[in-house]
A = this chain, B = another copy of it.
Amino acid sequence: MQKPTPQTANRFERRRAHSRQALVTAARRILAESGDTSASIQEIAARADVGFGTFYNHFATKTELFDAAVADALEEYGQLLDSVTQHIDDPAETISASVRLTLILAATHPEVTQIVRLRGLPHVHADTGLGPRALRDLEVGRTSGRFVLDDTKVALSAVGGAMIGLLQLNTAAGIDAKAGEQMAELILRLLGLPLEEAHEVATRPLPQLP
């Protein structure tokens, strides 16, 4: 019987990858807690349980590390949304589920969500994370006539901004799932759905988390 093939051939690469990931994870935690990048490299290395000098084996500057940490968190967030919405056909329901799921993730994955709230907006039009997924759904909805949109970019900015506004409200005031439904309803109206239809789609049962 053969051993399960390890993901990488040799231990050099695995050891290296482990150190790097420890640094990224520490940076994500710090970012989610304090919201800024002022922690010293010493502190980051200590929280990653890694020697100080190791930092410079992986990143040239602190900015480089935090950029990697943000990208890491946004990609994880996008994949979480994808895993739930990939089997939904109606683009309106996809948007609605994404909005409502975002609020649930704020409770179950607070660290990822904090980074989305604090750093997500500049990435809405980037080619990773939430942006391209939402853009794809907006285009599908527009082509099929379900959404009434003139400029998809403006709509994407509005939807992305509104979702981050919801996270902000949640952080500031602590809201419940009902607020997620209402935000989804408002966003569906924004996309051109009639009032009643927006309400109906926004209150459909949410797909189960995997």
Contact = CB atoms under 8 A, between A and B. Distances in A.
B173 A165 contact: no
A168 interface: yes
A57 to B, nearest CB: 24
A20 B105 CA distance: 43
Interface in A10-24: none
A7 interface: no
Contacts of A172: 122, 125
A151 B179 CA distance: 8
Point out which of A37, A175, A190 has the most chain B C-beta atoms below 10 A from its C-beta: A190
A187 B162 CA distance: 10
Interface string A121-132: 110110000000
Contact of A161 (B122, B163, B175): B163
A175 B125 CA distance: 14
A148 B198 CA distance: 12
A157 B168 contact: yes
A165 B168 contact: no
Contacts of A141: none
B166 A154 contact: yes
A162 B157 contact: yes
A38 interface: yes
Contacts of A183: 154, 157-158
A195 B179 CA distance: 24
Interface in A167-184: 168-169, 172-173, 175, 179, 182-183
Contacts of A163: 161
**8 closest A-B pairs (Cβ-Cβ)?**
A161-B165, A157-B165, A161-B161, A158-B162, A190-B190, A157-B169, A161-B162, A154-B182
Given A153-B173, A154-B179, A160-B161, 12 more contacts: A36-B37, A121-B168, A124-B165, A151-B179, A151-B182, A154-B175, A158-B162, A161-B162, A161-B168, A162-B162, A189-B189, A192-B195
